[in-house]
Chain A
Amino acid sequence: QKEVEQNSGPLSVPEGAIASLNCTYSDRVSQSFFWYRQYSGKSPELIMSIYSNGDKEDGRFTAQLNKASQYVSLLIRDSQPSDSATYLCAVISGSSGGGADGLTFGKGTHLIIQP
């Protein structure tokens, strides 16, 4: 049973600070990792993807991957109230790709940016 674990929160961060969201996964052969943002009542929106160890930056977002520790994180710099949302971590197993098994999602971390 593939599992993706996230702290459900809520995680409260003051405006302008760095928000740090964490995720662990159980399947060692996982190769593709994603972060989704979901506003209340809306569908998930892909914001970051990462495939190799290290950091990947896109604007205020940085994804970090450590395959040895089976750990993925998302950093949001200069947090804004509009970043308040639920953030979903998702993983694709390398053994089957996105077809046979698809994405395994964590249950999400609720992030609140306090003005």
Chain B
Amino acid sequence: DVKVTQSSRYLVKRTGEKVFLECVQDMDHENMFWYRQDPGLGLRLIYFSYDVKMKEKGDIPEGYSVSREKKERFSLILESASTNQTSMYLCASSGITGGFWYGYTFGSGTRLTVV
């Protein structure tokens, strides 16, 4: 089974701190994604990457950056954490087979609280 591992299940950080969320997948997938999920707003795409050192902005990239130095690892960086970034953060990866993209595999999520 594909595994997507997020480094922390729960995090509490202070306003203004720089925060790193790490994600590693073990299936050699090309694509990796970072989402945040908030009640009533659903899943919102922050950034994605379809290759090493490549990154694309999603729907809500403001206040975030990403890094993908190796194919298996995709990091989300909150440059200066703010209370409105308190959320559940979900990493996902996906690949292609037979010409069809198959569904994402999600990590277990990181619940970040900024105080």
A97: which B residues are within 8 A, CB to CB? 96, 101
Taking a contact as CB atoms under 8 Å apart, the answer to whether B106 and A45 are in contact is yes
Instruction: State A75–B109 Cα separation when bound (angstroms).
Output: 27
Say yes or no: B42 contacts A43, CB within 8 Å: no
How many angstroms from the CA of A114 to the CA of B60 in the assembled complex? 37
Q: How many A-B residue pairs have CB under 8 A?
A: 63
Give chain A's interface residue range (CB within 8 Å of chain B). 20 to 34
A32 located at the interface, meaning its Cβ lies under 8 Å from any Cβ of chain B in the complex: yes
Question: A98–B43 contact, CB under 8 A?
Answer: no
Q: A99 touching B42 by the CB < 8 A rule?
A: no
Closest residue of A by beta carbon distance from B101? A98
Contact A46 B109 (CB under 8 A): no
A111, B4: Cα distance in complex, Å: 26
Partner of A43, one of B94, B102, B109: B109
Chain-B contact segment, one of A11-19, A20-28, A53-61, A100-108: A100-108
- A106 and B42 contacting across the interface, CB-CB below 8 Å: yes
Q: Which residues of B contact A99 (CB under 8 A)?
A: 30-31, 50, 101
Interface centre among A90, A98, A105 (most CB of B within 10 A): A98
> In the assembled complex, which residues on chain B have CB atoms less than 8 Å from the CB atom of A108?
42
Min C-beta distance of B96 to chain A, whole Å:
7
25 contacts across the A-B interface (CB closer than 8 A): A32-B101, A32-B103, A34-B104, A43-B90, A43-B107, A43-B108, A43-B109, A44-B90, A46-B104, A46-B105, A49-B102, A88-B42, A92-B101, A98-B94, A98-B95, A99-B30, A99-B101, A102-B31, A102-B48, A102-B94, A103-B103, A105-B43, A106-B42, A107-B41, A108-B42
Closest 5 CB pairs of A and B: A98-B101, A107-B42, A34-B103, A99-B50, A43-B106
